[in-house]
Structure 1
Amino acid sequence: MLQAKLSHVALRSADPAGTRQFYEDVVGLRTVVADRPRAQLALGGAHVVELHDGQGLDHFALEVVDQAQFRALSERLSAHGIAVAPAADADHPDGIRFADPEGHVIEVHGRIDRTGEGVRADGRRPTGLHHITLTSPDVPALTAFYRDVLGFVVSDRMADRFAWMRCNREHHTVAIVQGEVGGLDHYCFEVSDWEDVKDWCDLLAVRDVPVSWGPGRHGPGNNVFIMFDDPDGVHIELSCEMERFWDDRVEYPEPRNWAAELRTVNLWGPAPEWRRPLEAPAA
C-alpha cells in the first residue's frame, strides 16, 4: 500500500488574482507566492493550493512518507511503462511528474514543511488539505490504475460509478466519480468538528458565499460535510469525522459496495443537480 497524503491541488483560473483573493478572504489561506504563472497559497508551511492561468485542474500532488515509498512507486511506474519527468519545486523535494490514463497530472515528492496544519483555527481556516475527487468515463479502469500502479487501496465502491481509495489511515485521499470526461469533481479541506462546520456556514453567509450542498453526511467515509464554489465554479468541500482504517493492525475484507442511489452520497437526503446523474434509473 502506498503511504502518502494529498500535498497540494493546482487549479487553472480565468482570474488568478481575483481567485487568490477569494482563497485568502473566504478560505483563510495565506499567499506565499503571488507572481504568475502560478500563485501559491498555504495554511502555514508549504503551499496547499496553486493558481495558474486557464481553466480546470492543472495537477495535484502527493507527499510520500519516506524514500523507500518514493523508490517503490518509481519502480512501479517504470514497470508499467509510465513516462515520468522531473517536477522541480523549491519547497517540494525530489519531485516527479506523470499522468494517469485520463490525463490527470500527478506530482509526487518527499516530505515537506507542514507547520500550522492540524490546528483548530476557530472556523476561520481549515486544519489541512484532505482529498481530491476526479471524474472519469470509466471508473473501474481508472480505479485499477490507482490500485495496481500507484498502490492505493479501495475502501468503498458505489457500483461502477464511484470509488473511494486510501493511501493512509483516512478513508480516502483520491476518489473517482463517473463523468463524461476526466477532470476535477471537487477537492476537500478538513475542519475540526461539527461545531466548526456550523461556524463555517455562518462565515460563508457573512461573505455572501452560498453553501451549495449540505450540511450532510456521506455514506462512504461517514464524514460530515458542506460544499461551496470558488469564483471559477470549483466545488470545495469542508469535511470532518472521516472514517479511518488501521491497515497495520487489521486485515480488512473486500471493499464495501454501496447502492447506486443518492442516499449513499448523503445519508441525510438532499443532493444538488450536478450529483444526481449518479443515481440508478428507476426499474
Structure 2
Amino acid sequence: MTLVETYGIHHVRLTVTDLDRSKAFYRDVLGFHIAAESPGSPDDPQVRTDPTQLYGGVVFQTNGMLFGLRPVAAPTDRFDSERVGLDHLSFKVSSVDDLTRTETRLSEAGIEHGEIIRLEAFGIAILSFSDPDGIHLELTAPL
C-alpha cells in the first residue's frame, strides 16, 4: 500500500507570460472549453496571489480534468524542458484521426509541430507541438 492513495490527476496549471494569448491558443486552436475565469485582473498584485480569484487566470475543462493558466511569469520568460520541472504535458485524444485533424488545424494556424509518430511498442501515436510560451505539449492516441 502506498502512503497516499491517489486515483488520478485533478488539475494541472501552467504559468504563462500573456494570459490573453495563451487563453486564445488553448480555446481557439485546441478547442478547450473555459470552465471559470478570474473575476479580477492579473495586473492586480492581490489578484495574482489569490487562489479564490484563480490567481488572475483561467481554468479549462478538458479530458475529464481541469487545466489552468496562471499569468505570473515575466513577459520575457520562456519555457525550458531541460530545467527542473515540467518536460511536457500530454493530452489523450480518442484516435489517430484526431491527431491528423489537429495536425491540419495546427498547420492552418501557422503553429509548428512534429509529425505523427507511431510508437507501436506502447500502443500509441503522438503529435508534439508547443504553446505560445514554448511549453511542450503532446496529444496521445491509442493505435
By percentage of residues, which structure has more strand? 1
Give the conservation status (yes or no) of the 8 Å contact 1:30–1:44. Answer: no
TM-score, length-scaled by structure 1: 0.38
Deviation at 1:15, TM superposition (A): 0.5
State the superposition RMSD in angstroms. Answer: 2.5
Deviation at 1:11, TM superposition (A): 0.5
Letter in 1 for 2:32: L
Which position in structure 2 is the counterpart of 1:11?
14
In 2, the alpha carbon distance for the partners of 1:220 and 1:16 equals 38
Taking a change above 3 Å as real, the CA distance of residues 220 and 7 of structure 1, as seen in their structure-2 partners, is farther
Q: Work out which of the residue numbers 63, 72, 76 in structure 2 matches 1:54.
A: 72
1:200 aligned to 2:102?
yes
Q: Which sections of structure 1, spanning at least 5 residues, go unmatched?
A: 56-134, 136-178, 243-283
In 2, the alpha carbon distance for the partners of 1:221 and 1:29 equals 26
Deviation at 1:219, TM superposition (A): 6.3
Superposed counterparts of 1:70-149, under 5 Å: none
Runs of 4+ in 1 over 4 A off after TM superposition: none
In 2, the alpha carbon distance for the partners of 1:220 and 1:3 equals 27
Structure 2 residue matching 1:18: 3-state secondary structure: helix
Deviation at 1:210, TM superposition (A): 1.7
Structure 2 residue matching 1:24: 3-state secondary structure: helix
Which position in structure 1 is the counterpart of 2:29?
26
Deviation at 1:221, TM superposition (A): 2.8
Q: Work out which of the residue numbers 40, 55, 60 in structure 1 matches 2:59.
A: 40
1:233 aligned to 2:134?
yes
Which position in structure 2 is the counterpart of 1:247?
none
In 2, the alpha carbon distance for the partners of 1:53 and 1:200 equals 26
Higher CA-based Rg: 1
1:189 aligned to 2:91?
yes
Q: Which sections of structure 2, spanning at least 5 residues, go unmatched?
A: 43-54, 74-80
Letter in 2 for 1:232: D
TM-score, length-scaled by structure 2: 0.70
Deviation at 1:227, TM superposition (A): 0.8
Q: Percent identity?
A: 25
In 2, the alpha carbon distance for the partners of 1:4 and 1:219 equals 27
Give the conservation status (yes or no) of the 8 Å contact 1:210–1:228. Answer: yes
Which position in structure 1 is the counterpart of 2:49?
none
In 2, the alpha carbon distance for the partners of 1:5 and 1:50 equals 17
By percentage of residues, which structure has more helix? 2
